[in-house]
Structure 1
Amino acid sequence: MEQIPLIVSTDWLEQNLSDPKLRIVDATTFMEMSENGGPPSVYSGKASNEEAHIPGAVYADLLNDLSDPESPLPFMVPPRNHFIEKMTRLGIGDGNYTVIYDQGALVENPVVAAYWASRLAWQMKYEGFENIAVLDGGLPKWKAEGRPLTAVPGNYSPASFTGQRRPELLATKEDVQQATGDDNIVLINSLSPEDYRGETDSYPRKGHIPSSINVFFGSHADMETKGMLSDAVLREPFEKIGALDPNKKVITYCGGGIAATWTSLILNKLGQKNVAVYDGSLNEWASDPSCLLVTES
């Protein structure tokens, strides 16, 4: 089976809908920002999926099924066996390829990025699943182009899985602490410039991790076409900070390890393979008074 690109177009997906080896997954989770600048509210996209989805798509619930139920932090990587059992029950495993999409990053601005899809793609790669792609523009682009939708539930036969976990894709708090003093590691904050400067109340403490550089996850999509910007445009901010240097490692983080996976996906697309995601991100870092945060660049 040929390796599919990391990101596939709506044209490509529609042309391949009938392929029996294709698995389509809707990873929609909804996030609404607080009006007073506090923590956002998050809820499952399962009901929305049941109303309409891309033909064949099954729903993967990142919030309720694919996060660690024992962690005090949201959206942390669950135990390996738990994740694999959920995915293989959906029909995803050896011998097929998977395209993941969502309905948009934020309720207020759904076209910002497909970061829920990228989160599931990253978790799958971390556990050793292969041949995974994210749909460029997600459901907003698919719908805007008038492509087919259905309310008929997707249904794939349960699968088997033999892949191995890739621990190099995940960064811990201790890894990030070491990275702040290492010139060979580029630490990227994927949040908004306002979050980076400590001008919001979204996290227990304000600011960003020392030495980290801000590249906002929402700056990579075209608001008109709903698709990703060209590689030439995407490359500019990352080249400026040395994140595409093949001799360096990159660690991405955000608030809860979601948007950081979108940044990681783009870096992979641009050729940087040595990228890890700080899973706990600011939810963990800002909750620990011993971890320094700064507000100046």
Structure 2
Amino acid sequence: MDTLVSTDWLSRHLDDPDLVVLDCMVRTDETEAGIENRSGLEDCRRGHIPTAGFADLKGALCDQDGPVEFALPSPETFCAAMGRLGVGDASRVVLYDALMSAWAARVWWMLRWVGFDRAAILDGGLTAWTAEGRPLSTQPAAHAPKRLTPRPRPRLIADRDEVRAAIADETVRLIDTLPAASYRGEMALYGRPGHVPTAINVPGTELVDGTGRFRPLSELGAMHGFDRGQRAITYCGGGILASANAFVMTRLGFRDVAVYTASLQEWAADPSNPMTVDA
């Protein structure tokens, strides 16, 4: 199974006994207080791809007592939650959402972080599936619990100290994956405007086309035109778009990619962490 699968492939393999399909959607709403993220569980219950369970990035798949939104749980806690969804060491997993596959990419990256490499993202997600008139279901998933063994890869996650050190380290590439206006400092999505010094901008929103499918690898390669053997750290606001870029970079053959999962939620909140804006 490739790391990116089509709606046609998924339709043909839905009944495979080792395949677990997971809806990863998080709802983002604008409120008087700003942007609010909430679990997409109710949307999933109203209609999901048949056999799909729900991977709750606002619930069991995060540390809800952590210092930032979407804080990583321990590898053991994450694997236990995935096991309850029917994901075991011998499973294959297909992940999807309804928003540029960024939420699905976050779960994909977390699975990779705990040592699981048998996961794929559904290209185009739920939007592509429904646009083609494919069926939805309201039936709960019926996967038996499995054992997912944690085999952590700590280099896939970067922390604030590594990002600080990378500013002055020419061997490490920092990649801001927020929209260009945020990168330039024209808008402040996370407290302070701008970006981490020395970071380049590869917006995660530009990885997909108008249908929500990932752009061809040739186009994505041109967007990531730097040394594929170099250490690279992606970040955004909460490690979501950054995971989409990390997913793409892995498909392109980059060999040492990490996601700064706390991202600007943590970085911008501390005035001792430098930020710069374009002149």
TM-score (norm 2): 0.96
1:90 aligns with 2:76: no
Where do 1:131-280 residues align within 5 Å? 131-223=118-210, 225-239=211-225, 242=226, 245-280=227-262
Q: Which amino acid aligns with 1:185?
A: V
Q: Distance in 1 between matches of 2:237 and 2:31?
A: 14
Match of 2:101 in 1: 114
Larger mean CA deviation between 125-134 and 250-259 belongs to 125-134
- Report if aligned partners of 1:103, 1:139 keep a CA contact under 8 Å in 2: yes
Write the distance in 2 (CA, Å) between the matches of 1:215 and 1:251. Answer: 12
Taking the aligned partners of 2:156 and 2:260, their CA distance within structure 1 comes to 9
Once the 2 structures are TM-superposed, how far is the Cα of residue 34 of structure 1 from its aligned partner?
Answer: 6.0
Structure 2 counterpart of 1:30: 27
Aligned to 1:76: 71
- The amino acid that maps onto 1:167 is P
Offset, 1:5 = 1.2
Which amino acid counterpart does residue 64 of structure 1 have in structure 2? G
CA distance in 1, matches of 2:35, 2:115: 31
1:238, CA displacement in angstroms? 0.8
1:182-233, Cα deviation, whole Å (9 max, x unpaired): 111111000001111122232121110000001111111110x331111111
Tell whether the 8 Å contact from 1:93 to 1:129 is kept in structure 2 after alignment.
no
What do the CA deviations read for 1:95-152 (whole angstroms, capped 9, x no partner)?
1100000121xxxxxxxx2100000111111112220101111000110011121111
Say whether 1:103 aligns with 2:98: yes
Report the secondary structure of 1:40's partner residue.
Answer: strand
1:47-58 equivalences in 2 (<5 Å) = 47-58=42-53
Gaps spanning 5+ residues in structure 2: where?
A: none
Among residues 2, 5, 11, which one is paired with 1:5 in the alignment?
Answer: 2
Q: Tell me the residue number matched to 1:64.
A: 59
Task: Give me the whole-angstrom Cα distance separating, in 2, the residues matched to 1:78 and 1:195.
Answer: 28
Query: Are the equivalent residues in 2 in contact too, given 1:73–1:280 (CA < 8 A)?
Result: yes
d(CA) in 1 for partners of 2:245 and 2:34?
21
Contact 1:39 1:201 in 2 (8 A): no
Residue type of the alignment partner of 1:23: V
Contact 2:113 2:153 (C-alpha < 8 Å) held by counterparts: yes
Q: 1:33 to 1:259 in 2, by over 3 A?
A: farther
- Structure 2 letter corresponding to 1:133: A
Offset of residue 180 of structure 1:
0.8
- Distance of 1:34 and 1:196 partners within structure 2: 23
In the alignment, the residues of structure 1 paired with residue 133 and residue 169 of structure 2 have an alpha-carbon distance, to the nearest angstrom, of 49
- Using the TM superposition, give the Cα deviation of residue 39 of structure 1 relative to its aligned residue in structure 2, in angstroms: 4.3
Is this contact kept in 2: 1:7–1:135, CA < 8 A?
A: yes
Aligned residues: 279
1:232-283 deviations in whole A, cap 9, x for unaligned? 11111211xx1xx233111000001111000000001111121000011000
C-alpha separation between the residues in 1 aligned to 2:213 and 2:229? Answer: 30
The TM-score with structure 1 as length reference comes to 0.91
Determine the structure 1 residue equivalent to 2:273.
291
Superposition CA RMSD, Å: 1.4
